[in-house]
Amino acid sequence: MGVILLVSRGTRFMADALKASLEKAGIVTVSVDPDVKSIEAEKEDIDMILLLAGDYVYDSAEALVYIMDMSRDEKLPVCLIGYDSELEEIKKYIPEALINAEYKRPVDAKTVAEELKLITDKAQEKRSRRHILLVDDDTTFLKMLQGWLSEKYRITAVKSGIQAITYMANHRPDMILLDYDMPITPGPQVMEMIRSENNYHDIPIIFLTGKSDRESIMNVMRLKPQGYFLKTMSREEILKSLDDYFEAHRWDDIFG
Q: Tell me whether the omega of the peptide bond preceding residue 95 falls within 30 degrees of 0, making it cis.
A: no
Strands (E), the chain: 2-7, 27-32, 48-52, 78-82, 99-104, 131-135, 154-158, 175-179, 205-209, 227-230
Q: Compute the distance between CA of residue 79 and CA of residue 67 in angstroms, rounded to an integer.
A: 11
CA 93, 96, 101, 103 dihedral sign is positive
Interacting residues of 115 by C-beta distance below 8 A, sequence separation 6+: 101
**In this structure, which topology does domain 131-255 adopt according to CATH?**
Rossmann fold (3.40.50)
* Distance of alpha carbon 133 from alpha carbon 205, whole angstroms: 10
pTM comes to 0.61
* Dist CA 202 CA 173 (whole Å): 11
Q: According to the model, what pLDDT value does residue 127 have? A: 72
Query: In the chain, where are the structural domains located?
Result: 2-127, 131-255
Closest CA to 134 of 111, 114, 160, 110: 160
pLDDT reported for residue 36? 93
Q: How far apart are CA 120 and CA 124, in angstroms?
A: 6
How many angstroms separate the CA atoms of 109 and 18, rounded? Answer: 5
Is the fold of 2-127 the same as that of 131-255?
yes
Cβ contact 155:149 at 8 Å: yes
Among 146, 133, 242, smallest CA distance to 194 is for: 133
CA angle 215, 220, 224 (to 5 degrees): 130
Q: What's the confidence (pLDDT) of residue 138?
A: 93
Burial, 229: exposed, middle or buried (Cβ in 10 Å; 0-12, 13-18, 19+)?
middle
Alpha carbon of residue 53 to chain centroid? 24
For CA atoms 166, 46, 132, 255, the dihedral sign is positive
The CATH code for residues 2-127 is 3.40.50.2300
Which pLDDT tens digits describe the chain residue by residue (256 residues)? 688 999 998 767 888 888 888 888 888 899 999 999 999 898 877 889 999 999 999 999 999 999 999 888 777 889 999 999 999 999 999 999 999 999 999 988 889 888 988 888 887 777 778 999 999 999 999 999 999 998 889 899 999 999 999 999 888 899 999 998 888 888 888 998 998 888 888 899 999 988 777 777 787 777 788 888 999 999 999 999 999 998 887 655 433 4
Give pLDDT, residue 222.
78
Contact 80, 53 (CB under 8 A): yes
Residues 93 and 68: their CA atoms lie apart, in Å, by: 7
